[in-house]
Amino acid sequence: MTEERLRSSLSHNSTYHVRGSKVQQLHAVADALNQTSDLDTLEGIDWDNFGFGLRPTDFMFVMKGDLEGNWQKGQLRPFGNLEVSPSAGVLNYGQGVFEGMKAYRTADDRILIFRPEENAMRMINGAERMSMPAPDVDTFVDAVKKTVLANKRWVPPTGKGSLYIRPLLIGTGPILGLAPAPEYTFLIYVSPVGTYFKGGLSPIDLKVETYFHRAAPGGTGGVKTISNYAPVLKTQLMAKGNGYSDVLYLDAIENKYVEEVSSCNIFMVKGKVISTPELAGTILPGITRKSIIQLARSRGYEVNERPVSVDELLAADEVFCTGTAVVVNPVGSITHGTNRVQYNNGAVGRVSQELYEALTTLQMGVSKDEFDWVVELV
């Protein structure tokens, strides 16, 4: 049967009758064929104006395991929906963690990923907090490599963006009482992306949130669990509705110390010293954060990890955010109540620019990797 006839016969509106799960399998094949037919439009993408959004690609990686950590052999399959029980642990009790990574295309057409073992270890730590088994580091990294290579046509041209990589670990086994799910699914999907904030490397405007809090001591703020992100949507939408780019959260005890932005860490510069809130269980240990600290110190900057009050932040010479999605993004202004402070007259600060270039040239294979952070996929 030709591809055209197969696609026609397996369409969801066709009268091709097969019982049971075979129907779902045939529909999956049809979906895959329809999806691959869209690849002809790849060259028509305007990479110069490509924002940060979801664009389905060719393949995803899926692997299942049990509560004891016995994992089946993972496999690549066409990107598509998962079949999950209504009583799945992730749906009923939020049992899930995820990661964010990127792959880059170099000028000589190599594909690079950045510090994948760090993401693997962070997922392991997060899974332990959420009473979940997790793939070991080697399995995680190997799955990432396979997924990126299977979708490498979607890695944007050098300097035009990156392939965002989303590993997920979720409790998919059915459970009614409050307990860990009996089965787990580890999966990875990818999507080409441009810059996270509109305007690329341009300063953003933050609003300090004084009522709602992102995390509290003893909670899960220090791990990348899915349950940490839905609660920030309300305040983020409110802030964006008032013209701000995002929200900056304070500690839940004294409502005085800076913690992080909705999905990224924050740094301040005062004189020749860079400071960032210390990791005390309520702040995500960002891999970009960790890398920027190491890069800055290697360039002679003094970097302090300590409590940073909102008053100190407002008096800083320069402020910037870090994260996989945002990379290094300067902050143009922060509004705390009725007090609005602007930095660098709304322009990109010198330190932000320097560290952004240092990190991105390393990630894209332009500068020498003295830290052994970059992994080339072959």
| 234 counts as catalytic | no
Cβ-Cβ contacts under 8 Å for 261 (sequence gap 6 or more): 206, 246, 247, 248, 249, 321
Q: Which is the catalytic residue, given 22, 224, 234, 240?
A: 224
In the numeric block, the tokens 């003295």 are attached to 370
Q: Which residues are catalytic?
A: 224
